[in-house]
Amino acid sequence: MNELKAKFWIDALRWRAEGAGAHVYVSRRGDPDAGAVLVKVLLPEGLARLFAPVRDFEGARVWSQPLGAGPVAEIDADAYAARRSGSDPDLWVIEIEDRQGRHFLTEPVEAG
């Protein structure tokens, strides 16, 4: 399977999101070639949704919601990202601030 380098994938996500009027922040930089990516979508009132990549049975990337499908306190999403980055120094954390709460992921997202 031919995967995009992490930095190129993140640049494409940023381009899609910013082109639609969202703001994108890189809160943690990981390995530019092979780092995993967490995507945190910032919502009003201190809430967030978190997306993490997993592989399906055929090896394709899908996005899971490790803290559940509904919004969680942003501090809980940050704590999850901190735990993951403690065990994965190559991890990227991308934050998307969008009034509509869109994640801009193009791969499938599990229901949660």
Q: Which CATH number fits domain 6-97: 3.40.140.10, 3.10.180.10, 3.40.1530.20, 2.40.70.10?
A: 3.40.1530.20
Q: Give the per-residue pLDDT at 2.
A: 46
| Local confidence band at 103 (pLDDT 50, 70, 90 cut-offs) | very high
Checking DSSP bridges between strand 23-28 and strand 72-73, what pairing results, if any? unpaired
- Measured CA distances, 83 to 7, 26, 39, 76, 88 (Å): 22, 17, 15, 11, 9
Average pLDDT, rounded, for the chain: 92
Collapsing DSSP states into helix, strand and coil, what is residue 30? coil
Collapsing DSSP states into helix, strand and coil, what is residue 12? helix
| Local confidence band at 61 (pLDDT 50, 70, 90 cut-offs) | confident
**C-beta separation of 110 from 48 below 8 A:** no
Domain boundary assignment for the chain: 6-97
pLDDT higher than threshold 60 for residue 98? yes
